[in-house]
């Protein structure tokens, strides 16, 4: 960057010298503009890649939901009750959920009436708009916040949903942003769980705190907090065990952790992320209901969207349970985690 700057200046200087006057400010403005154009260019490119990747991850949902909707719209000659019934069926089978589907269909009917829409093909854009606005109205914000730092992120969810993998991906992404990250192995249920998390910490080159198998999870988190304070860590991410066979056990275990965090790290920005597996569809909704009762969930990570046609579940999570989806998992790789952006998601599932 520096060399490029120097070279440009020399050319410009020669030009100005030949003209008999030196005006540095004019040059500097142009150079800054050019640098800004280059940065903007790479940002647009980055955004496009991001979107293409999301679209790739949502292929199954798009094929199922969007193709069926296209077929319905093209096979109907007018916008009537029959068309709405067919749409309803597609939304319900895509795991959008009965209540959210009804809400969407009602809004769609009202729009069709007020805008006097007769052409079925126009319904697609209306449906997209209604999904976007319903999701936006349901929650305040979809952004995972670690500002002001230090921040602590508690990751909760039942077995196998992708908690540990998500922590690995997330720490990699914070690290790439120049943040100092520490992971605490609060899932002490199995030795393998601790090892798996340690492996991810090595992969994303972040620090790691653990106790032995069977240790008290709250004690691990306590140590993680002390280490985070001593090392001036920006983000402390804590894994937890999510055995759901007994709700009061789960509640006790989580509450103990929350108390430690409040007492020892009260000034930290706090997120409690619930990880849900998209392939489980309506089951994910049921898990969300249980966790909402036992914890003040601040956001959802929906994983394995790449392996399912049930991506519609995201709409119900936000619209029905009013849980902001903050991140989506679209693969097993370290870079396969993205912030959730409503407009991009809706555009990606409708192709």
Ligand X SMILES: Nc1nc2c(ncn2[C@@H]2O[C@H](COP(=O)(O)OP(=O)(O)OP(=O)(O)O)[C@@H](O)[C@H]2O)c(=O)[nH]1
Residues that bind Mg ion (CB under 5 A): 163-164, 193
Is 158 among the annotated ligand-binding positions? yes
146 vs 330, which CB is nearer to ligand X?
330
- Which residues bind to ligand X, rule: CB under 6 A? 157, 159-165, 187, 193, 242, 303-304, 306-307, 329-332, 336
What's the closest the beta carbon of residue 97 comes to ligand X, in angstroms? Answer: 21
Q: What is the DSSP letter of 20?
A: T
73 vs 337, which CB is nearer to ligand X?
337
What the block records as the tokens of 221 is 């988190």
182 vs 327, which CB is nearer to ligand X?
327
What's the closest the beta carbon of residue 62 comes to ligand X, in angstroms? Answer: 16
Three-state secondary-structure class, residue 185: coil
| Contact of residue 307 among ligand X, Mg ion, none (CB under 5-8 Å per partner type) | ligand X
34 vs 332, which CB is nearer to ligand X?
332
What's the closest the beta carbon of residue 155 comes to ligand X, in angstroms? Answer: 8
Is 166 among the annotated ligand-binding positions? no
Is 243 among the annotated ligand-binding positions? yes
Q: In angstroms, what CA-CA distances link 158 with 169, 214, 240, 322?
A: 18, 18, 9, 20
Alpha helices in the chain (DSSP H): 2-19, 24-57, 59-61, 67-75, 81-93, 98-114, 123-138, 163-176, 191-203, 217-230, 247-264, 282-294, 313-319, 342-349
- How far, in Å, CA of 318 to CA of 345, rounded? 13
Cβ–Cβ under 8 Å, residues 249 and 218: no
What's the closest the beta carbon of residue 150 comes to Mg ion, in angstroms? Answer: 24
Q: Give the residue closest to Mg ion by C-beta.
A: 164
Neighbours of 24 (CB within 10 A): 11
Is 53 among the annotated ligand-binding positions? no
| Contact of residue 281 among ligand X, Mg ion, none (CB under 5-8 Å per partner type) | none
134 vs 182, which CB is nearer to ligand X?
182
Is 235 among the annotated ligand-binding positions? no
What the block records as the tokens of 249 is 């056990």
Give every strand in the sheet of 299-303, ordered side by side: 207-209, 181-184, 235-239, 151-156, 269-277, 299-303, 325-329, 337-339
What's the closest the beta carbon of residue 276 comes to Mg ion, in angstroms? Answer: 14
Is 298 among the annotated ligand-binding positions? no
Is 303 among the annotated ligand-binding positions? yes
Cβ–Cβ under 8 Å, residues 248 and 130: no
Could you list the residues known to form a binding site, using ranges: 157-164, 239-243, 303-306
Could you list the residues known to form a binding site for GTP, using ranges: 157-164, 239-243, 303-306
């Amino acid at each position: 960057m520096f060399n490029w700057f120097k070279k440009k200046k020399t050319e410009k200087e020669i030009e100005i010298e030949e003209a008999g006057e030196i005006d540095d400010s004019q040059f500097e403005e142009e150079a800054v503009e050019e640098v800004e154009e280059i940065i903007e260019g790479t940002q647009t490119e980055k955004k496009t890649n991001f979107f293409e990747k999301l679209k790739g991850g949502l292929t199954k949902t798009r094929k199922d939901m969007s193709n069926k909707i296209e077929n319905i719209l093209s096979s109907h000659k007018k916008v009537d009750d029959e068309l709405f019934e067919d749409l309803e069926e597609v939304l319900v089978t895509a795991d959008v959920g009965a209540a959210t589907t009804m809400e969407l269909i009602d809004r769609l009917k009202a729009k069709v009436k007020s805008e006097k829409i007769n052409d079925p093909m126009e319904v697609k854009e209306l449906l997209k708009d209604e999904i976007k606005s319903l999701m936006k109205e349901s929650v305040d914000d979809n952004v995972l916040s670690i500002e002001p730092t230090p921040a602590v992120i508690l990751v909760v969810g039942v077995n196998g949903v992708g908690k540990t993998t998500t922590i690995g991906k997330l720490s990699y992404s914070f690290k790439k942003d120049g943040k100092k990250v520490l992971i605490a192995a609060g899932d002490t249920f199995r030795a393998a769980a601790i090892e798996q998390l340690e492996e991810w910490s090595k992969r994303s080159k972040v620090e790691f705190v653990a106790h032995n198998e069977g240790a008290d999870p709250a004690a691990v988190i306590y140590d993680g907090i002390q280490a985070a304070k001593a090392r001036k860590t920006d983000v402390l991410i804590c894994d937890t065990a999510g055995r759901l066979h007994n709700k009061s056990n789960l509640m006790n275990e989580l509450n103990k952790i929350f108390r430690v965090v409040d007492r020892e790290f009260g000034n930290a920005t706090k997120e409690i992320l619930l990880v849900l597996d998209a392939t489980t569809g309506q089951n994910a909704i049921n898990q969300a209901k249980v966790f909402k009762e036992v914890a003040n969930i601040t956001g959802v990570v929906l994983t394995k969207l790449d392996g399912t046609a049930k991506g519609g579940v995201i709409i119900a999570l936000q619209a029905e349970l009013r849980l902001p989806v903050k991140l989506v998992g679209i693969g097993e790789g370290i870079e396969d985690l993205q912030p959730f952006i409503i407009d991009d998601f809706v555009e990606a599932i409708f192709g």
